[in-house]
Each structure stands twice: as C-alpha cells, then as structure tokens.
Chains A and B, each alone.
Chain A
Amino acid sequence: MAVAEQTTSPLPADELERVPTVIADDVHIVYRVYGGRSKGNATAALRRIIRRESSARVREVHAVRGVTFTAYRGEAIGLIGSNGSGKSTLLRAIAGLLPTERGKVYTDGQPSLLGVNAALMNDLTGERNVVLGGLAMGMSREQIKERYQGIVDFSGINDKGDFISLPMRTYSSGMAARLRFSIAAAKDHDVLMIDEALATGDKKFQRRSEARIRELRKEAGTVFLVSHNNKSIRSTCDRVLWLEKGELVMDGPTEEVMKAYEEETGK
C-alpha cells in the first residue's frame, strides 16, 4: 500500500464499518540459526567466545521483510508464494509465536494456528492425546469431555476397530494425521490460521475437513490459509496475499492475484 498523505481528515465511512482484526505494520522477522555455516575450528570458536564476538556460526535469515496489511472481520485471506517465501513465518508472527525484529502486529483477541502436532506424544494412546492436545490448545477439561466423542468420530479412527486406545505410534501416517486434524479443529478461534491442513488423509476425510474449515470460518472472525493448492485457495478465500522472498508482491481480490501468480509461475 502506498503511504497515503497523512491527513487527519475524518475517516471514510467505509473504514468505520469494517472492523480490523489483524494489522501488520512493516513486519520484519529474522531467524537466528546455529551451526549454519561451520567454518573454522574449536580454537577459533573459543577465541570468539572470549572476545565476545558474535559467533560466525550464527547465521541470520531475514525471512519476512517489511510486510504491511490490514485484515478485516469476515475475511478469508489466502497466502501464496513459492517454498521459503515466508508464508508460514508470517503466520507465526501474527499468532505472536515468533517475535518480530522490527515493526508490529496488532490483533483482536488471540489468533491461533490450526495445529497441535507438537504437543502430542507418539508413545501415548490416542485417547490421552486427545485430552493432552485439547489442554495444550487451552481448552478446559469440561470442554474436552464434551467434545471428546465428536473428535474421535470425526477422525474416523475407530471405524476399523478400537484404535483410540492404542499408542499413536501404532497408527498409519494417514490415521495419525486425521486424529491430529480432528483435535486441532475441535476448538473455536477468533482469528484462525491454517497452514496446509487441507491435504490430510484420504478423499473422504479431505471432504470432511474442508467442510469443517468452512464451519470454522463462519465462527471465526478472520481466516488465514497457507496453501500451494490453488484450487483450495480459490474455493475458500476472497483475498490473497502473494509473498516472495519475504516481501509482499501483491495484495488483492483472489482472482486478480491468482491470475498474476499463475502467469508468473507458468501454471
């Protein structure tokens, strides 16, 4: 967005009705990676520590460079761009999970990422993982008890026998992915962010999860979707942000941006 003349004139009527839920103001995100460039030997490393120099083994990756946008209530926004363009990183910063180097993200309520994978433990039964995952997302014990059956039914884990009482490491990769999605999708969110969650499980489960995401969209204020599947972006989003090398290339209505993106990528 061009920096408009800084007038203090009364707001356009349009802006009064539209409630912003996420505002990203010139967001920069830098990752520090240890052991990226291993040059030199132990004595060199020791010398650096003694002289308090910043280690040459710490490499900085500037993943997002100055992204600015405002998302409003009721919007579904797609994020597109090639691998490593900073889409997932940007989502994490919006969720407040990654600190920004410069710039600020303002949000209404607590945006959350759809995903509990990291909190689940393969050695535990599916049953215990449902409870653990729910608690990790901030649900209360009562809420989990209420929704437990729904989660299990939705995942379809028990369709082929009593699998929910077996450790998760015994599940097939598809079954585990289905259970993870079911747990993650059981919670209501103000601002929901989905990172490539639609490609989970078999055809039947994919249809079910797309329907669940549409439901979540209705309940949530704003939805962000990262996907490489142009079809699912087109069917779920009304606005698209195109990121490339951490910079915002284009921000506009889905069809317009997708056309430009497809021309660029030659699809």
Chain B
Amino acid sequence: MSETTRASAPPRAVPLAELAARHGLSVSGARPSLPAYVRQLWARRHFITAFSRAKLAAQYSQAKLGQLWQVATPLLNALVYFLIFGVILEARGGMSTGDYIPFLVAGVFVFTFTQSSVMSGVKSISGNLGMVRALHFPRASLPIAFSLQQLQQLLYSMIVLAAITIGFGHYPTWTWLLIFPALLLQFVFNAGLAMIFARLGSHTPDMAQLMPFVLRTWMYASGVLFPLRAMIEDNDTVPLWAADVLEANPAAVYMDLIRYAMIDTPQYSGVPGLTWAYALGWALVIGIGGFVYFWKAEERYGRG
C-alpha cells in the first residue's frame, strides 16, 4: 500500500497479532471484565461526584435567583398540582387538606426523582458524545452521575417537603429516619433504570422524544396525585387486584415509603413490611440488571 516504508523498519516476519502478544500489548477499546469494570468505576468515584455537583451548580448559574431555584422549582410544581387535583378536580379520596398536601408533595417530589433520572439517563450518552469520544472513563459514570445529580436535587426538595409536612401538623417521629434508606434504595433503582435507558438512548436517539409520554402515563398509574386504592375502590369497573398490581410498581413503592415515614395518619401508620420488600427487590433487580445491561455495550458507546 505504501510506496516507501520506514527505511530502518525490518520486513514483517511475524503476523501483527503475534507481535502484539509478544510485547504484551492489549486490544485497544476492548470491554473490561465485569469485576475490572466495577474497579474502574470505583476509581472514578471522585469524578462522578464532581461531575454531578458541577451539573447541579451549572443548572441555575445564569438565573438571578441562582440556587434558590433548587427549592423554588419543586415548590411551584407542587402548587400547580395542588390547584388542579386538590382544588379543581378534588381527586383526594376523602383526605383533608392537611393530609392531602403532604401526600401530594411527597408523591410529586419522589416521582420527579425517578422521572428526571430516566430523562437525563436517556441523554447521558447521546448528549455527551464529545466527552465519550475524547476521554477514557467507564461510561457508566455518566448515567450514575446524572442520577446522583437528581438525588442532590431531591435533597433540596426534601427540605421543602419537611417544612410543608410539619406546617400541616405532622411532627417528626423516629419513622422520619426511614427516609434515608428509602431514598438510598430509590437511588439504586433510578441509577439502574438510567443505565438501561442510557444504552437504549445511545442507540436510538428517538427515545428522548418518546419517554416524556411513557413517564407521564406511569405517573398517573402510580397514584402520585391521588390515593390510588381509594380511587379504584370507588370505581366499579376496575377489579380490586389492579390496586395490588399498581401498588407493587416501583414508583408507587418508593412514594409510599416516604409517605409512611413522614405522614401521621391512620392510613399511613406503622412500617409496611411488604412495601419495603418490594423496594429492596426493585432496587436489586433494576440496579444490578441495569448495570450489567449497560456494561454489555461498553465498547460501542463511542459510535453515535
């Protein structure tokens, strides 16, 4: 192919693959084994946290009110839903306003956490191709960092939620401590889901257009805005087992954990064993499954 070869270059006596093997060269861009991948990811933990915090800080850096929007955005969101579902439609299943508002706000915040993790996960590879094509790092860093950004965002929201809950007369008890393991499990679940959708979105960019509709359907089916069981019990055409199925879905599970932990009504008292079991199960299945599914395509993410 070339007219001149390097003057001092020796004629090729051995196949290149053999030459590479003899000098201990490895194939560039090959997918590491799963344990090696986990180690690489752990080595990049500082990058993941720094990246997620940087994204969070950059989000509102141009706004006049700055980081105040971290709290104002979820608050305004909750207000809109309260006006529509609490006041206009009165879809509150017989709850008093003092019980309904914390119920609604907890639902909106917790669901938003999953929703925005999925939405940023879909675009985490396809929207950062420049980085993927210029730098070496385990690609799972990106969906995980975006989920972590949403977790930090949620912590701001939880401050608002705590204030609202106390404001309506539900005072902190020891069960409030259960918020932390609940959010941890939800984070694992969200990160897994974000990794699944990151892989899908890297291959089919159209996912980013489709997901908002899927997620909105999921929201209405999970009892974010109204008590699911009460609505189904009122409705004769829907069988009761539908309520069991809908309550086992992960969005409803993580929402209920927060409501059980914070809201002090007969409906949400005690520690729901079954819901915790579901929460743990979903976190393990989607968290580990999503990670493995994402890793399987690790070497192909550069191609867009």
A residues in contact (CB < 8 Å) with B: 1-4, 6-9, 11-12, 14-15, 19-23, 25, 31-32, 34, 66, 68, 70, 92-100, 104-108, 110-113, 115-119, 121, 123-124, 128, 131-132, 135-138, 140-141, 167, 239, 247-253, 256-257, 260
Contacts and interface: CB of A to CB of B under 8 A. Distances in A.
B7 interface: yes
A107 B26 contact: yes
A241 B43 CA distance: 36
B178 interface: no
A7 B13 contact: yes
B221 interface: no
B130 A107 contact: no
B84 interface: no
Given A121-B54, A250-B2, A96 B61 contact: no
Contacts of B10: 12, 14-15
Nearest to A113: B134
Nearest to B141: A136
Contacts of A121: 54-55, 58
Interface string B62-91: 100000000000000000000000000000
Interface string B48-59: 001100110110
Given A23-B16, A92-B133, A135-B46, A124 B4 contact: no
**5 tightest A-B CB contacts, nearest first:** A96-B29, A118-B130, A106-B20, A96-B28, A106-B25
A68 B13 contact: no
Contact of A15 (B2, B6, B13, B43): B13
Interface string B27-38: 111100000000
B258 to A, nearest CB: 31
A153 to B, nearest CB: 22
Contacts of A124: 54, 57-58, 61
Contact of A123 (B28, B50, B61, B205): B61
A194 to B, nearest CB: 12
Contacts of B19: 15, 20, 23, 70
B59 to A, nearest CB: 8
Nearest to B48: A135
B234 to A, nearest CB: 40
Which secondary structure dominates chain A's binding surface? mixed
Given A20-B19, A68-B1, A97-B302, 17 more contacts: A8-B14, A25-B17, A25-B20, A70-B16, A93-B29, A95-B29, A105-B27, A117-B130, A119-B135, A124-B58, A128-B57, A132-B50, A239-B6, A250-B3, A251-B4, A252-B4, A260-B3
Contacts of B304: 32
B303 A123 contact: no
Nearest to A30: B303
Contacts of A138: 43-44, 47, 136-137
A9 B29 contact: no
Given A23-B16, A116-B135, A140-B46, A92 B302 contact: yes
21 contacts: A1-B5, A6-B15, A14-B10, A15-B10, A19-B23, A20-B20, A23-B19, A23-B25, A25-B16, A25-B17, A32-B304, A34-B205, A95-B136, A96-B136, A105-B27, A106-B16, A106-B28, A111-B28, A121-B58, A251-B4, A251-B6
Nearest to B29: A96
A123 B5 contact: no
Nearest to A26: B16
Contacts of B131: 118-119, 136
Contacts of B216: none
Contacts of B25: 20-23, 106-108
B231 interface: no
B244 interface: no
Contacts of B2: 1, 248-252
B11 interface: yes
